[in-house]
Amino acid sequence: MTTCPDDIASLDAAYEAIDRDARMVVAALSEALGTWRAAPDTWTVAECLDHLATGNRVYLEAMRPAAERAAAEGRTRRGPARPGLVGGWFARSLEPPARRLFKTKAPRKIRPRVSPPLGDAAATFLASHDEVRAFLRQFAAIDLTGVTFPNPFVGGVRFGLATGLHVLAAHERRHLWQAWNVRRAAEEAAGVAPATPLTPSTGHG
């Protein structure tokens, strides 16, 4: 991004790191390993990415009307794009590694397709991730902290747009962490040399 406030630059850099990590998790990964699952009730690498793609788009669909309305009304930035108290707690709870206390099934509307092709799932996720980054850049100048949107999964709950952006980043890191673990398990089961150690974006290595 061009010159911008530190908090926006930091978010954009976090999304850039996630982009690199996502590309690494599928690099040189065969279709067989990308669609391998450890047990019937576990996800494949492709399903992790497909889940993120759907989650990103559902969140953006909820966030965009509020952002566009704020832009039209001239609700400009008043301070750093930081999540609120509850939103910040929720975003932190999504960060990897996944903690058993917060291990729940994904909401029905963002459950992944069953056994999507790896290439399709990866491309779909990367496209959705680009949409998130474009949203950040398009609306960086509005009051991301003060403007709220309806949580798409919990009726009656509203988050600030800044919270939504931090939640999306944490959610992506969480499931890329999961995807790396699945990849490593698949490689171990197939007797394949493990992938390169993970990047800092997902907090594992």
Query: b or e along 156-168 (b: 16 or more beta carbons within 10 Å of the residue's beta carbon)?
Result: eeebbbbbbbbbb
CA–CA distance, 161 with 149 (Å, rounded to integer): 7
Confidence (pLDDT) at 18: 98
Determine the Cα–Cα distance for residues 203 and 205; give it in Å rounded to an integer: 7
Full-model pTM: 0.91
CA 192 vs CA 29, 30, 54, 180, 185: distances in Å: 11, 11, 30, 14, 10
As averages over each run of 10 residues, the pLDDT of the chain (205 residues) reads 83 97 96 97 97 97 98 96 91 84 69 95 98 98 97 90 97 97 96 69 46
pLDDT of residue 194: 82
Task: Give the DSSP H or E segment for 159.
Answer: strand 158-160
Chain CA centroid to CA 35, Å: 20
pLDDT at 2: 53
pLDDT at site 1: 46
DSSP, collapsed to helix, strand or coil, labels residue 29 as coil
Per CATH, which fold does 6-194 belong to? Four Helix Bundle (Hemerythrin (Met), subunit A) (1.20.120)
Question: How far apart are alpha carbons 21 and 169 in whole angstroms?
Answer: 12
Given the DSSP bridges, would you call strands 148-150 and 158-160 parallel, antiparallel or unpaired? antiparallel
